[in-house]
């Protein structure tokens, strides 16, 4: 009943043909809430499937893929790239279905539907629409704002809107719905007013950069980001989970750190389940007939950011060490590291196939892969709800409390070189301590201040493989293009070998760049920073090539 219509080249204006529009359906509170339920999962599926990590982690340099998804890793994906198309279409599908839900609830909801539920359901749809637009504007730049697909279904001249007017629209939308959402979820997994406030803190931090002047971010919007982040921290009842590992130790769904998740369930149907583990698990040895992620790896750039892993020699070709930071081992797997929550197939010397607790395999070649751990939950036997090839039940984080701590700190810091704000410093240190690190340190004791580099590193390590980093770079690009481009162009994205000092349970690892692999860097410019609009859609809607206009004034 709620199945997603196939996207086609007129998706921008055509309402989906098989969406729920029956006037007899919206008779009760339960039916109205059922109408918005697919906005938590199926409508995001084509983004979550592969486009999410392609855009957020592969393109940004968190993950390295020398062969698969080469266009994203090389920063030259064009308008015919399958994941460019999938991400674009998925976001506009969320927008399209949100618009239709708002129209249908307003049109068909009967008197038996309570005002509270009607208001809440419409607020959910507006929330989802805003979240989709946030990802679109950060990844593609100027895009068209559409609030009613039916109203414009015969239009052939849709224009993109300016980035500044899109952010004005998004902050206005999110502010409007805060009081329409409950303090406690309608049912587990539904958003609350604190989900909206947290998203608004995120939006205002972006808008502060959009409305910058001479590289200085807008202080009013920084103050707003700080206010809403603090309000969520103080009033939501949310708290950081005790250790970083537990954030992705299944079942972690809808835990007390989470503010918004995509809600997946195990199903043999295509759409309700999470397909990401199929593409990122390193082998079928730890998967369910899938496990195609053996050629995806942590990048040299990402691994080298961790405390305790340091350069050896003067050439920059070798780094060595281990880190107390549990975010590395719970984001990517290193040779000899053990993951007892995952069952692994192994073949003994006599050829017998058996199972054991996962020990990530060793490699002695001149290139190796530190494959993805985050969101990998194992075989069917490891998952009470069940799993099968490309069908997993674990949710996808879209917003969690840790980000509120770092948004607060960044809003306090603003464009200053450093800040000694006691509350903000403690928030940064709370994130570090949860990851197994000490407070920010000087050679003779704890730091009494934090810097922009401190915050950037914490965001990089905290949210690696959560499809965040490219969006973070877009926020920097708004007010400091040179810095954003410099980060991208200085990253090493080439092959490297990983040598454990012993196997299993290494004390340290040595990482050595593969000498013959020369494609190690990219060239990011103002011209290719944003993703291209899919070629087919430019062909069917040439007006998308025109200069963007202000959404509110039309010029």
| Residue 131 maps to a domain | yes
Reported confidence tier of residue 1, pLDDT bands at 50, 70, 90? very low
**Mean local confidence (pLDDT), 276-293:** 97
| Residue 313 maps to a domain | no
Q: What is the mean pLDDT of the chain?
A: 94
End-to-end CA distance of the chain: 41
Quote the pLDDT of residue 13. 54
Please answer whether residues 280 and 53 qualify as being in contact, where contact means their C-beta atoms are separated by less than 8 angstroms. yes
Where are the strands (E) in 456-527, listed by range?
496-500, 509-513
DSSP 478: H
Copy the structure tokens of residue 298. 């942590």
Quote the pLDDT of residue 10. 52
Copy the structure tokens of residue 226. 């700080």
Asked if residue 89 has pLDDT above 60, the reply is yes
| Cα dihedral: 471, 473, 479, 482 (round 10) | -150
Rounded Cα distance between 22 and 24, Å, is 5
Give the helix ranges, DSSP H, for 263-336: 276-280, 300-303, 326-329
Quote the pLDDT of residue 455. 98
DSSP 509: E
Burial class (CB in 10 A: 0-12, 13-18, 19+), 214: exposed
Instruction: Please indicate whether residue 317 or residue 20 has the higher confidence score (pLDDT).
Output: 317
| Residue 200 maps to a domain | no
Quote the pLDDT of residue 14. 52
Rounded Cα distance between 108 and 549, Å, is 34
Rounded Cα distance between 254 and 260, Å, is 8
Quote the pLDDT of residue 22. 61
Pairing type for strands 353-359 and 441-442 reads unpaired
Asked if residue 374 has pLDDT above 70, the reply is yes
| Residue 374 maps to a domain | no
Helix, strand, coil shares of the chain, percent, nearest 5, are 40, 10, 45
Rounded Cα distance between 258 and 330, Å, is 18
**Mean local confidence (pLDDT), 222-243:** 98
| Residue 112 maps to a domain | yes
Burial class (CB in 10 A: 0-12, 13-18, 19+), 444: exposed
| Residue 454 maps to a domain | no
Rounded Cα distance between 207 and 432, Å, is 27
Q: What are the Cα distances from residue 416, in Å, to 215, 218, 426, 494?
A: 12, 13, 18, 34
Rounded Cα distance between 367 and 355, Å, is 27
Q: What is the number of other CB atoms lying within 10 angstroms of the CB of residue 510?
A: 17
Rounded Cα distance between 373 and 183, Å, is 33
pLDDT above 70 as % of the chain: 96
Domain of residue 149, CATH code: 1.25.40.890
Please answer whether residues 316 and 503 qualify as being in contact, where contact means their C-beta atoms are separated by less than 8 angstroms. no
Reported confidence tier of residue 444, pLDDT bands at 50, 70, 90? confident
pLDDT above 90 as % of the chain: 91
Reported confidence tier of residue 230, pLDDT bands at 50, 70, 90? very high
Cα maximum dimension of the chain: 75
**Mean local confidence (pLDDT), 501-526:** 96
SS3 assignment, position 260 = strand
Phi, psi torsion values for 432, nearest 5 degrees: -65, -45
**Mean local confidence (pLDDT), 109-115:** 95
Structural domain boundaries, residue 103: 1-169
Q: Output the pTM of the full model.
A: 0.95
Rounded Cα distance between 456 and 18, Å, is 44
Rounded Cα distance between 404 and 216, Å, is 22
Rounded Cα distance between 122 and 103, Å, is 9
Rounded Cα distance between 538 and 391, Å, is 34
Reported confidence tier of residue 468, pLDDT bands at 50, 70, 90? very high
Quote the pLDDT of residue 4. 33
Reported confidence tier of residue 314, pLDDT bands at 50, 70, 90? very high
Quote the pLDDT of residue 19. 47
Q: Could you tell me which residues are beta bridge partners of residue 356?
A: 344
Please answer whether residues 396 and 250 qualify as being in contact, where contact means their C-beta atoms are separated by less than 8 angstroms. no
**Mean local confidence (pLDDT), 199-213:** 98
* E strand or H helix at 55: none
Total structural domains within the chain: 1
Asked if residue 298 has pLDDT above 90, the reply is yes
**Mean local confidence (pLDDT), 439-461:** 95
Asked if residue 8 has pLDDT above 70, the reply is no
Quote the pLDDT of residue 6. 37
Rounded Cα distance between 478 and 293, Å, is 33
Quote the pLDDT of residue 538. 95
| Residue 70 maps to a domain | yes
| Residue 36 maps to a domain | yes
Asked if residue 15 has pLDDT above 90, the reply is no
Among the listed residues 234, 223, 184, 219, the one whose alpha carbon sits nearest the alpha carbon of residue 405:
234
Asked if residue 9 has pLDDT above 90, the reply is no
Burial class (CB in 10 A: 0-12, 13-18, 19+), 539: exposed
Copy the structure tokens of residue 206. 């972006």
Quote the pLDDT of residue 11. 53
Tens-digit pLDDT profile for residues 116-149: 999 999 999 999 999 999 999 999 999 999 999 8
Reported confidence tier of residue 373, pLDDT bands at 50, 70, 90? very high
Tens-digit pLDDT profile for residues 18-66: 444 566 689 999 999 999 999 999 999 999 999 999 999 999 999 999 9
């Amino acid at each position: 009943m709620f199945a997603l219509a196939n996207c086609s080249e007129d998706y921008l204006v055509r309402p989906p043909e098989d969406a729920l529009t029956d006037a007899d359906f919206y008779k009760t509170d339960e039916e109205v809430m059922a109408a918005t339920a697919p906005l938590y999962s199926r409508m995001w599926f084509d983004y979550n499937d592969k486009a999410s990590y392609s855009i957020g982690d592969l393109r940004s340099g968190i993950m390295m893929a020398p062969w698969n998804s080469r266009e994203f890793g090389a920063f030259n994906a064009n308008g015919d790239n399958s994941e460019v198309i999938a991400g674009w279409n998925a976001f506009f599908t969320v927008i399209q279905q949100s618009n239709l839900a708002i129209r249908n609830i307003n049109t068909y909801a009967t008197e038996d539907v309570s005002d509270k539920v009607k208001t809440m359901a419409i607020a959910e749809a507006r929330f989802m629409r805003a979240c989709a637009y946030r990802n679109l504007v950060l990844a593609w730049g100027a895009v068209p704002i559409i609030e009613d697909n039916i109203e414009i279904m015969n239009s052939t001249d849709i224009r993109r809107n300016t980035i500044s007017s899109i952010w004005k629209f998004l902050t206005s939308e999110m502010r409007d719905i805060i009081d329409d959402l409950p303090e406690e979820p309608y049912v587990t997994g539904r958003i609350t007013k604190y989900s909206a406030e947290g998203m608004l803190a995120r939006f205002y931090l972006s808008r502060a950069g959009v409305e910058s002047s001479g590289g200085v971010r807008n202080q009013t919007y920084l103050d707003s980001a700080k206010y809403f982040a603090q309000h969520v921290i103080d009033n939501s009842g949310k708290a950081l989970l005790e250790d970083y590992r537990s954030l992705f130790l299944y079942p972690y769904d809808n835990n007390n750190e989470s503010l918004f998740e995509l809600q997946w369930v195990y199903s043999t149907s295509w759409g309700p389940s999470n397909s990401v583990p199929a593409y990122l698990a390193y082998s079928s040895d730890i998967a369910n007939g899938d496990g195609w992620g053996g050629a995806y790896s942590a990048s040299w750039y990402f691994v080298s950011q961790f405390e305790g892993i340091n350069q050896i020699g003067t050439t920059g070709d070798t780094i060595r060490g281990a880190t107390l930071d549990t975010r590395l081992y719970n984001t990517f797997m290193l040779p000899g590291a053990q993951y007892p929550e995952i069952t692994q197939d192994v073949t003994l010397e006599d050829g017998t196939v058996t199972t054991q607790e996962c020990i990530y395999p060793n490699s002695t070649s001149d290139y190796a892969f530190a494959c993805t751990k985050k969101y990998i939950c194992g075989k069917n036997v490891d998952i009470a709800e069940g799993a099968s090839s490309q069908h997993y039940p674990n949710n996808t984080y879209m917003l969690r409390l840790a980000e509120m701590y770092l948004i607060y700190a960044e809003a306090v810091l603003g464009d200053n070189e450093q800040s000694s704000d006691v509350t903000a410093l403690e928030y940064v240190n709370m994130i570090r301590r949860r990851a197994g690190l000490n407070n920010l340190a000087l050679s003779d004791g704890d730091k009494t201040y934090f810097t922009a580099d401190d915050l950037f590193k914490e965001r990089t390590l905290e949210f690696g493989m959560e499809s965040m980093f490219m969006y973070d770079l877009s926020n920097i690009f708004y007010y400091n293009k040179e810095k954003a481009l410099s980060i991208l162009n200085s990253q090493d994205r080439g092959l490297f070998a990983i040598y454990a000092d012993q196997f299993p349970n290494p004390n340290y690892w040595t990482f050595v760049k593969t000498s013959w692999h020369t494609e190690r860097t990219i060239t990011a410019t103002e011209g290719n920073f944003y993703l291209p609009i899919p070629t087919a859609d430019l062909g069917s809607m040439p007006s998308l090539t025109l200069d963007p206009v202000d959404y509110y004034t039309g010029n």
